[in-house]
Amino acid sequence: MTATDRSLDTAPEDAQRRRRRLLLKIAVAAVVVIGLLLVLYLGCRFLTERPVTYDTMADHFKYGSTRGDLLTGVPVWIWQAMPLVCADILESVTGDRLAPDYRDRVARYSSADDAAERRRALSREGYKALGFLYETDADGRERTLPIGTTQRRSLGLDRTYINCAVCHVSTVRQEPEGPAELVVGMPANLFNLYDFEHFLFECGKSSRFSFLQLAPEMAALGADLDLLDEYVVYPLAIAGLREAINFLEDQAGFSVRQPEWGPGRNDTFTNNKVFLYGYPWRDLVPDYWTTGEVHPENVGTVDFPSIWLQGKRKQRSDGRPMQLHWDGNNDDVEERNLNASLATSALPPVIDHEAIECVELWLEDLEPPAWPFPIDRQLAARGEPIYRQYCADCHGAGGRDFTGRWVGYVTDIDDVGTDRYRLDNYTGTLAANMGMTYAKQPRRQQAHPCPDGTVYRPRQPRGGDGAYGGSPAGGYDEPAGAPATYDSRVAAVEAEEDSYRYTHYRKTNGYANSPLDGLWLRAPYLHNGSVPHLRALLEPSDRRPVTFYRGNDLYDPIDVGFVSTAPRDRDGRGYFLFDTAVPGNGNRGHEGARYGTELPPADKAALIEYLKTF
Amino acid sequence: MNAKGKKRSKWRRLKIWLPVVLVVGGVFAYIGWDRGFRVHPEPDWVMKDEATRFMYASIGAEFEAGIPYWILYVLPRVFPEKFPGPGGFAAFGIPWEQGMELPVGFTQRTIGFPRVSNNCAVCHTATYRTSPDAEPVIVPLGPGHTSNVEAFLKLLVDCAKDPRFNADNLMAYIAMATKLDVIDTLLYRYLIIPITRKTLLERERQFTWVYNDAYPDWGRGRDDAMNLTKYFMIEVDPPDDGTYGPTDFPSIWNLQKYDSPADDPNPQRLNLAGDTWDAYSVVMDSALGLLGGAPHDNDEFVAHVQWITDYAKRTPAPEFPFPVDEALAAAGRPVYDANCAVCHDSDGDLVGRPMPLAEVRTSRDRLDTWAGKYAAQANRVVEEMGLERRGLVEQDSPGYNPPHLDGLWLRAPYLHNGSVPTLRDLLRPPGERPATFYRGYDVYDPVDVGFVVQGPEAERWGTLHDTGRKGNGNYGHEFGTDLPAEQKEALLEYLKTL
């Protein structure tokens, strides 16, 4: 204390008290202000909740969020670190899709200036082995995240998860050395959802999925974590993520008991069984991997479908919408989309209806690209009458004209004769339970703009005359529809509820007759992708390939399908060997005189040429 | 300040605060009423037509016995292992129309919050398929031969007993299905879930006999009706008196057949042993069983009972859905007249009136579950609720009623306890009837006249009926069992036409 101070000591006690009080006030004010600032900062940092949005519908489709990332979003740095931290798991899951030296390269760190970028490239290479596709941005650099993944800021993290595009975008090459052209809306023939899920589950369960293991890898990738990130945010996020991944495995892990799907395929409805009634897949008997057999209801593996021109699918010959899904179990585009969105973790309480509705609107008119190779017009013209005679009734007048007596109806299984696992996988029990999904979620009525400036306008409240189903008559005339009284009851319920609840799911007894838009890009053929190309589809099943390779994006314009005979790509990475003897993979059916497999070779050639114009 | 001033300032303070307290209290009371007790009307569609009303309209059971909707909703996801098989509520075999939110007989009312309960259709709606690939046909008022009601009752108790039946767990699953607002979240977490758990656990003791391993399960399509009445309505204690007599859910179509002329000295009675005086009383007593207590509103309840009674009286049985050999059926008519008509003909003196057990000699277990003294007690309970009905017969019954045979084809399995799978088996002597079979599979067998009861699918969907266990005996009713084969064949064909 100075002398002056001491002299002040003699001042009256009142003044001193006043000063102390003032100091106290200042201190309190400071604490309050700092506290407020802190709260403001933390609030901005952790309560900010917004997706990355896009200006075009194509980008919205490829990268836009369904809001599933709010539930199971993986922090982007962790997403990038996973293939590196879990390189061994990635190798065991993907097998020879991964370069043999991948793990060695992952194990070697660089101290060069571009070390972080090299790490990131290595991470992307890992995802490419799962079939993910990366676009390049304006300066020619690959994007951080692949097609079909979203980005959202939430809980102070940039998080990502899959969206619709992961299963409905792919590439096609016209020549081995040529560029891979991206096609939006085609089946994701390269994406291996089975491998991706198992990689996610196994990595999430492994001891390496911990902050201690992931943090150094994130740093090597270029992450710049602050103290809060390092001590609070990421440790909590990783703990939460482990739980989320475990839960996801409980939901979707059933495929471990099924034959491997291979790229471009998925078992949709077993997911619904688990989601709705905890289908006990761990108890599935028999287990394919120990017995080589499966229960007739436990395999529903099918190709990802193309999703172009949905608008035209809203009407068929009787004025009703076409029956959608491979077995025609639903005729309502909205319900079909909501159900597909469940796979992106967009559960009823979180789903971004506007985002989905914009995609629904955009897909109404989205067209597939035209056949890029030359067409022998004369030969195609000869094929047209053959198509009209054999195919048009069930598959439509042409590639863009979907009119036809039985287009969008279900053909009885005994008639079409294709593999019945998928049909039997969708049980009546499941169809009934589907009616609980989205229960008590009222439909939104607002029109809203979409990224490309179009406006989505909700339909009028649903519900109609109630007629539903119906099967081709003449040769196969058993009506598949339920008794009209009960459908009129469901229609009345639907109109009054006006909710998102599924009311259109029905058990059918066959497979749906689909329009053939973009047919050339929809190989391999049949619902389970068991026939590699159109030429083989026009052969009786005993002359179709017994095994072939899936996952190549090189196109074969002669046979009309993707190249299916090469076991490896130019870099020596293997394709998936598809075995039609495996349960669910059967390639029989859609054959016989009426299906064109007994046509003379010249007629088949003409028909195939004509189908190229679709 | 003097005392007066103090008082005045107190009063002034009170004047300021009282309205605040009243307003806040009022708001809370309103919210409590609105979210906890406010009764909302049912949707219009439940009254769309009579079948819809019967299968989906509330009879008021949500007030006492209602399960909060979102708790019921997540049970298949939280406790799949407690269901009789994979398939959620479909695993109970109760008919479920595709596109509907819940199975037939599951009703919903919003009383503050949505609640689910049951109506008569849960036990009295039949479903059948003409082949494994065919669409199910649902027949309101038919016997609910597929419904595993015991498993459903046990499910609720077993779930409540599980430590995972807590707010944290259930709320986590509910959050995957819907977004509850703050008030509903608080209500569910702190009141609805704990109270539901407590209520369900209180039921456990009353179910003592259901959990007694000495008795077989009811199985699909049956319930131990009179014991339910004893232990739940008149609360006989302990709830296991050593009797056990599950019986088939009866068809309740065409009940007008029981209307005897007013001057009939020995009028027909209802229930398997003629335990009840008239249809209206049976409907009321069964409905009270679903309510789990006195009605919320007697007038409303009586109106429901009256409508159901009228609907059941005037609605006929469905016809046999397969081709019938008319000539053979015609040949069967005299066989029927000679052997069956005396007891079963609707114009006869014996049908619908208790017949001494010694004459039919079927399993007596169901008879032993009831007595006139219980009828007197039950009648008193109902009277105390302020409900009027002719009620239960207050005397011991000598045996079972010979039933009318309308819609007989859909009423398999046969005998009061459903111990004989097909009509063909019923025409065999007891020693040749199947000792075990699976009941509750809905594919019909038009040759033997009954449901398919053997084979992998019947095994998968059905429940095992072992005729050697208590209440399950398949003996007795040895009528027509020694007819020549061709007469049996003709008789079977004729019975299809009833």
Residue pLDDT, tens place only, A364-374: 999 999 999 99
Query: pTM for this one?
Result: 0.92
Contact state of A489 with B96 under an 8 Å Cβ cutoff: no
Which chain B residues contact residue A485 at CB under 8 A? 49, 51
Is A46 in CB contact (< 8 Å) with chain B?
no
Structure-block tokens of residue B160? 């409540």
Ramachandran sector of residue A546 (left: φ over 0; alpha: ψ -120 to 50; beta: rest): alpha
Give the pLDDT confidence of A151-185 residue by residue, as tens digits: 999 999 999 999 999 999 999 999 999 999 999 99
* Residue A400 contacts residue A309 (beta carbons within 8 Å): yes
Task: Give A339 to chain B, closest Cα distance, Å.
Answer: 13
Which chain A residues contact residue B71 at CB under 8 A? none
Is B96 in CB contact (< 8 Å) with chain A?
yes
Contact state of B87 with A492 under an 8 Å Cβ cutoff: no
Q: What is the mean pLDDT of residues A411-424?
A: 95
Task: Give B117 to chain A, closest Cα distance, Å.
Answer: 16
Structure-block tokens of residue B378? 């039950």
pLDDT of B9: 78
Is B100 in CB contact (< 8 Å) with chain A?
yes
DSSP code string of B39-64: BPPPPGGGGSSHHHHHHH---STHHH
Cis amide linkage into residue A524, ω under 30° from 0: yes
Is B341 in CB contact (< 8 Å) with chain A?
no
Give the pLDDT confidence of A302-352 residue by residue, as tens digits: 999 999 999 999 999 988 899 999 999 999 999 999 999 999 999 999 999
Cα distances (angstroms) measured from residue A379 to each of A213, A398, A534, B294: 62, 16, 16, 81
* Euclidean distance between CA atoms B92 and B101, whole angstroms: 15
* Residue A142 contacts residue A136 (beta carbons within 8 Å): yes
* Residue A507 contacts residue A429 (beta carbons within 8 Å): no
Longest dimension (CA), chain A: 120
Which chain A residues contact residue B48 at CB under 8 A? 489, 492
* Residue A270 contacts residue A425 (beta carbons within 8 Å): yes
DSSP code string of A556-611: ETTTTEE--S-SB-TTSPBPEEEETTSTT-----S-SGGGTTTS-HHHHHHHHHHH
CA nearest neighbour of A501 among A279, A268, A321, A332: A332
Q: Which of residues 442-481 of A touch B (CB under 8 A)?
A: 480-481
* Residue B202 contacts residue B232 (beta carbons within 8 Å): no
Structure-block tokens of residue B325? 């050999």
Contact state of B76 with A487 under an 8 Å Cβ cutoff: no
Give the pLDDT confidence of B318-334 residue by residue, as tens digits: 999 999 999 999 999 99
pLDDT of A611: 97
Query: Which residues, in sequence order, are CB contacts of A432 under 8 Å at separation 6+?
Result: B90, B96, B97, B98, B100, B103
CB count within 10 Å of CB A23 equals 10
Is A484 in CB contact (< 8 Å) with chain B?
no
Question: For chain B, what percentages of helix, strand and coil (3-state, to nearest 5) are there?
Answer: 45, 10, 45
Q: What is the mean pLDDT of residues A478-489?
A: 58
pLDDT of B167: 96
CA nearest neighbour of B477 among B412, B400, B408: B400
Across the interface, of A429, A480, A503, the residue whose CB is closest to B90 is A429
- Using the CB atoms, write b or e for A361-376: b if 16+ within 10 Å: bbbbebebeebeeeee
Q: What is the mean pLDDT of residues A453-479?
A: 56
Is A121 in CB contact (< 8 Å) with chain B?
no
Contact state of B100 with A485 under an 8 Å Cβ cutoff: no
Task: Give B395 to chain A, closest Cα distance, Å.
Answer: 44
Query: Which residues, in sequence order, are CB contacts of A203 under 8 Å at separation 6+?
Result: A82, A85, A86, A89, A90, A209
Interior angle at CA B244, CA B240 and CA B246, nearest 5? 130
pLDDT tier for residue A481 given thresholds of 50, 70 and 90: very low
Give the pLDDT confidence of A255-265 residue by residue, as tens digits: 988 999 999 99
pLDDT tier for residue A467 given thresholds of 50, 70 and 90: very low
What share of chain B in percent tops pLDDT 90?
A: 90
Mutating which of A436, A476, A507 best tests the B interface, going by the most B Cβ atoms within 10 A?
Answer: A436
Q: What is the mean pLDDT of residues A224-238?
A: 94
φ, ψ dihedrals at B161, nearest 5°: -75, -20
DSSP structure class, residue A499: B
Which chain B residues contact residue A269 at CB under 8 A? none
Interaxial angle between packed helices A268-277 and B69-78, expressed in degrees from 0 to 180 and rounded to the nearest 10: 120
Across the interface, of B51, B89, B178, the residue whose CB is closest to A440 is B178
Contact state of B98 with A505 under an 8 Å Cβ cutoff: yes
Is A141 in CB contact (< 8 Å) with chain B?
no
Across the interface, of B87, B175, B177, the residue whose CB is closest to A429 is B87
DSSP code string of B402-428: PPP-TTGGGG-SBTTTT-B-BHHHHTS
Task: Give A320 to chain B, closest Cα distance, Å.
Answer: 17
Give the pLDDT confidence of B206-228 residue by residue, as tens digits: 999 999 999 999 999 999 999 99
Which chain A residues contact residue B77 at CB under 8 A? 275-278
Mutating which of B48, B96, B98 best tests the A interface, going by the most A Cβ atoms within 10 A?
Answer: B98
Across the interface, of A347, A490, A507, the residue whose CB is closest to B100 is A490
Cα distances (angstroms) measured from residue B128 to each of A510, B91, B101, B125, B143: 21, 16, 21, 10, 11
* Residue B73 contacts residue A439 (beta carbons within 8 Å): yes
* Euclidean distance between CA atoms A155 and A160, whole angstroms: 13
Contact state of B88 with A436 under an 8 Å Cβ cutoff: yes
Cis amide linkage into residue B132, ω under 30° from 0: no
* Euclidean distance between CA atoms A179 and A346, whole angstroms: 34
* Residue A232 contacts residue A161 (beta carbons within 8 Å): no
Across the interface, of A430, A490, A501, the residue whose CB is closest to B97 is A490
Task: Give A430 to chain B, closest Cα distance, Å.
Answer: 7
CA nearest neighbour of B147 among B247, B249, B221: B221
pLDDT of A9: 53
More confident position, A336 or B135: A336
* Euclidean distance between CA atoms A160 and A152, whole angstroms: 6
pLDDT tier for residue A482 given thresholds of 50, 70 and 90: very low
Query: Which residues, in sequence order, are CB contacts of A370 under 8 Å at separation 6+?
Result: none
Across the interface, of B81, B90, B99, the residue whose CB is closest to A504 is B99
pLDDT of A2: 46
* Euclidean distance between CA atoms B395 and A494, whole angstroms: 50
Mutating which of B71, B135, B148 best tests the A interface, going by the most A Cβ atoms within 10 A?
Answer: B135
DSSP structure class, residue B90: G
Mutating which of A493, A499, A503 best tests the B interface, going by the most B Cβ atoms within 10 A?
Answer: A493
* Euclidean distance between CA atoms B184 and B181, whole angstroms: 5
Contact state of B135 with A280 under an 8 Å Cβ cutoff: no
End-to-end Cα spacing for chain A: 95
Give the pLDDT confidence of A484-530 residue by residue, as tens digits: 567 888 989 998 998 999 999 999 999 999 999 999 999 999 999 99
Write the ipTM: 0.92
